[in-house]
Structure 1
Amino acid sequence: MLEEDIVKFGDFTLKSGKKSAAYVNLRDMISVPTLFDQATLAYADTLRASDILTKPDGSLRYLEGIPEAAIYYGGAVAREVGAPLLYHRVKAKEHGQPRAIEGRFEEGDEVVLLDDVVTTAGSKLEEVTAFGEFGLKATGVVVLVDREQGGRTELESRGLDFATAMTLSGIAKYALDERLAGVTQTIYDSLLGELDPAELG
Structure 2
Amino acid sequence: MMNRSIGKRANDYFLEIIEWIPRLIQLQLLWFLCVLPVFTLGTAGRTVLYMIYYYKKNEEKKLSSLYWKKFRENISLYGKQDSLASSYFLLLFIDYRIFHYLGGGIGYTLMYTTLFLLLLSAVLFSYKILLQLENQKEVSWIAAFFLFFNDFKSALFYLAGTSILLVALWFAGPIYLALLGFSFLFYFQVLLFIHRTQEKGLKKEE
TM-score, normalised via structure 1 length: 0.25
Greater RCO, 1 or 2 (C-alpha within 8 Å, sep 6+): 2
Query: Which of the pair is proportionally richer in helix?
Result: 2
| Structure-2-length-normalised TM-score | 0.25
Q: Which has the higher strand share?
A: 1
